[in-house]
Amino acid sequence: MIKVLHNNSCSKSRGILEFLDENNVPFEIIDFVENPLTEIEMKTVLKKLNMNVHEIIRKNEAVFKEKFADKTLSDEEWIKVLIENPELIQRPILIKGSVAMVGRPIENVKFFIEK
């Protein structure tokens, strides 16, 4: 089963859920805005994504521009920022076993669910 780290205010995230549903792919929704990830969960997701924390920060978000654009923080500090400001996390993130991906573009999601 695929786990989807989901932000309901994001049209791309809602679109991925619709795509999975239409293609009869079983999935579990994890609303990371309503239920923020723990530090350990965030680190686990980053490891499964094979990405560093800077790669999953949404730098176009207003909160990033207002509070963090001029900051130089350590990876640990950025993880805490993302936990406290989950709207800054790229989404959706799909997790299948020991691997994960940011669910864009849709072509990559198709490949991900087929492997």
The residues annotated as belonging to the active site are 10
Burial readout 9-44 (b: 16 or more C-beta within 10 A, e: otherwise) = ebeebeebbeebeeeebebeebebbeeebeeeebee
Whether the link from the prior residue into 105 is cis, omega within 30° of 0, is yes
Distance CA 80, CA 41 (A): 12
